[in-house]
């Protein structure tokens, strides 16, 4: 092998290695965050079937509401990662501080509006009777956590954008442990039911949010003199962040729409859908973690003016995503039955969960490629392309497929399961067409 070939091989291997070591902590953080949610589902399942259905029903609603402001963190993260690539440390601290101030202000507004329109949101989403009552109890506690959730999101964005993904991992691990301990105390010992789960979630998020502010200040990654929101920075973040917010809202809205379809088939199917999503997310958090790392490294390399390296990161992300996704699918298929048993002993819920997962796990393959391409949209500042891709995934593909399978082919709940698989596949094709229009030298 020639010296030139060896040199190229070494450079490419180093790119793969850097992606892996950045993605590793992000993947573990996402996994632990999923475990955090699984813990809530586990304890809800111990209380009752309606409570378990509450978990799956409220999840996309809270994700959509929180997602309305998450774009600010994403927009700020794009700017931070490119500034890190350029080596402009003082500007990084300024953006960090501005991002924290903006997110706190936005989160308080979102929290207040969520409380005011809580019942209307739940009813529009399809809740009624006992499901409406139980969902109202639980989701109000989640609304109280919104300011602290945004603070945590800001912290994770700042650390990840600088390549320090190990710090959020420690943070999420501690939060997960605290949440599980508190759930055990409030639900098992004090018999507080949904109130106990809500209080446990609130306490864990408050502790985590306060620590995030303390550490950022202690390590001088934020400064008080930059806290006053500056108009030019605000609009730069908004320009990049609004499409990302709309992307998150669109994704969450798709699950709310699916909830409306699923509710028609009964509480068992809704509960199974929730169980299936929790298990399926174990694989998705791995893929999404790789996508986050790709976005960060693409942003840093674009900021440094190294387009070749940025494109190598994309290729590495696709390959790594496919490998990890394929291995995860095989493992889950082999242990699917005992994994479902962890969440429910109801035979009907188990049957529907199994049917859903056998179809949905296949969608991991196109999703692995889609996430890396979407990460390029984020890292290069083409957040509108990401918005178009996710919008198409829901409105051009998912909803029409549901209607086709349900009304024409009469597949009942299988209409929903198959629509999710096919919408992921067609969204990948759409994202690839958008990728061909990416300007790698775009100024943000």
Distance CA(249)–CA(64), nearest Å, equals 5
- At 345, give phi and psi (nearest 5°): -105, 0
Longest CA pairwise span in the chain (Å): 72
Distance CA(116)–CA(134), nearest Å, equals 17
Please write the tens of the pLDDT for every residue from 90-115.
999 999 999 999 999 999 999 999 99
The answer, yes or no, to whether residue 6 has pLDDT greater than 50, is no
Distance CA(325)–CA(313), nearest Å, equals 18
Distance CA(326)–CA(303), nearest Å, equals 33
Task: At 138, list the tokens.
Answer: 């639980």
Residue 258: DSSP 8-state = H
Q: Give CA angle at 264 (258, 265), nearest 5°.
A: 100
Task: At 443, list the tokens.
Answer: 């100024």
Contacts of 410 (CB under 8 A, 6+ apart): none
Q: Supply the pLDDT for residue 5.
A: 39
CA distances from 42 to 35, 127, 140, 189, 443 (A): 10, 21, 20, 15, 46
Q: Would you call 435 exposed, middle or buried from its count of C-beta atoms within 10 A (0-12, 13-18, 19+)?
A: middle
Contacts of 281 (CB under 8 A, 6+ apart): 34, 37
Per-residue confidence at 193, pLDDT binned at 50, 70, 90? Answer: confident
**Torsion angle in degrees (nearest 10) through CA of 337, 339, 342, 347:** -20
- DSSP string for 99-158: HHHHHHHHHHHHHHHHHHTHHHHHHHTT--HHHHHHHHHHHHHHHHTHHHHHHHHHHHHH
Percentage of the chain exceeding pLDDT 90: 41
Query: Do residues 75 and 239 touch, judged by C-beta distance below 8 A?
Result: yes
Q: How many CB atoms lie within 10 A of CB 227?
A: 12
Helix spans in 264-306 (H): 267-303
Please write the tens of the pLDDT for every residue from 350-368.
999 999 999 988 888 999 9
Distance CA(423)–CA(406), nearest Å, equals 15
Distance CA(67)–CA(173), nearest Å, equals 22
Query: Do residues 170 and 25 touch, judged by C-beta distance below 8 A?
Result: no
Domain residue ranges of the chain, discontinuous segments joined by +: 3-435
Residue 224: DSSP 8-state = G
Q: Supply the pLDDT for residue 272.
A: 86
Q: Supply the pLDDT for residue 426.
A: 95
Site of tokens 């969608």: 363
Please write the tens of the pLDDT for every residue from 7-48.
444 446 676 778 878 888 888 887 787 777 777 778 887 787
Distance CA(145)–CA(62), nearest Å, equals 11
Contacts of 333 (CB under 8 A, 6+ apart): 358, 361
Please write the tens of the pLDDT for every residue from 120-170.
989 987 788 888 899 899 999 999 999 999 999 999 999 988 888 888 888
Per-residue confidence at 4, pLDDT binned at 50, 70, 90? Answer: very low
Distance CA(327)–CA(287), nearest Å, equals 12
Distance CA(157)–CA(76), nearest Å, equals 8
For the chain, give the number of residues.
444
Residue 395: DSSP 8-state = I
Site of tokens 């998912």: 398
Computed over every residue of the chain, the mean pLDDT equals: 86
């Amino acid at each position: 092998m020639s010296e030139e070939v060896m040199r190229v091989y070494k450079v490419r291997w180093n790119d793969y290695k850097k992606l892996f070591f950045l993605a590793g902590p992000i993947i573990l953080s996402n996994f632990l965050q999923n475990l955090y949610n699984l813990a809530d589902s586990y304890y809800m399942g111990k209380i009752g079937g309606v409570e378990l259905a509450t978990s799956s029903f409220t999840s996309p609603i809270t994700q959509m509401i929180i997602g309305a402001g998450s774009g600010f963190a994403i927009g700020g993260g794009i700017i931070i990662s490119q500034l890190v690539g350029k080596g402009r440390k003082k500007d990084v601290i300024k953006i960090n501080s501005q991002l924290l101030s903006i997110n706190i202000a936005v989160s308080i507004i979102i929290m207040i509006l969520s409380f005011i329109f809580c019942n209307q949101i739940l009813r529009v989403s399809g809740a009624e009777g006992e499901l409406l009552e139980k969902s109202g109890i639980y989701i109000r506690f989640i609304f109280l956590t919104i300011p602290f959730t945004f603070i945590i999101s800001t912290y994770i964005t700042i650390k990840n954008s600088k390549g320090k993904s190990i710090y959020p991992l420690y943070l999420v691990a501690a939060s997960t442990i605290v949440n599980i301990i508190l759930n055990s105390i409030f639900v098992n010992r004090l018999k507080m039911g949904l109130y106990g789960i809500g209080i446990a979630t609130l306490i864990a998020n408050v502790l985590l949010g306060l620590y995030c502010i303390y550490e950022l200040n202690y390590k001088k990654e934020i400064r008080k003199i930059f806290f006053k929101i500056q108009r030019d920075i605000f609009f730069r973040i908004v320009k990049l962040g609004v499409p990302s917010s709309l992307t998150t809202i669109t994704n969450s809205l798709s699950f709310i729409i699916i909830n409306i379809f699923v509710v028609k088939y009964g509480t068992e199917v809704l509960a199974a859908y929730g169980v299936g999503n929790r298990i399926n997310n174990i694989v998705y958090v791995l893929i999404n973690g790789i996508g986050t790392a790709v976005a960060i490294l693409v942003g840093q390399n674009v900021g440094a003016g190294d387009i070749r390296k940025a494109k190598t990161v994309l290729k590495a992300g696709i390959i790594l995503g496919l490998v990890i996704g394929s291995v995860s699918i095989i493992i889950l298929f082999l242990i699917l039955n005992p994994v479902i048993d962890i969440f429910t002993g109801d035979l009907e819920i188990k049957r529907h969960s199994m049917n859903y997962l056998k179809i949905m796990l296949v969608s991991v393959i196109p999703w692995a490629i889609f996430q890396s391409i979407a990460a390029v949209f984020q890292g290069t500042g083409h957040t509108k392309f990401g918005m178009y891709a996710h919008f198409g995934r829901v409105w051009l593909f998912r909803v029409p497929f549901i209607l086709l399978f349900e009304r024409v082919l009469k597949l009942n709940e299988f209409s929903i399961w198959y629509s999710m698989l096919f919408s992921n596949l067609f969204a990948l094709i759409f994202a690839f067409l958008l990728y061909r229009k990416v300007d790698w030298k775009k100024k943000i």
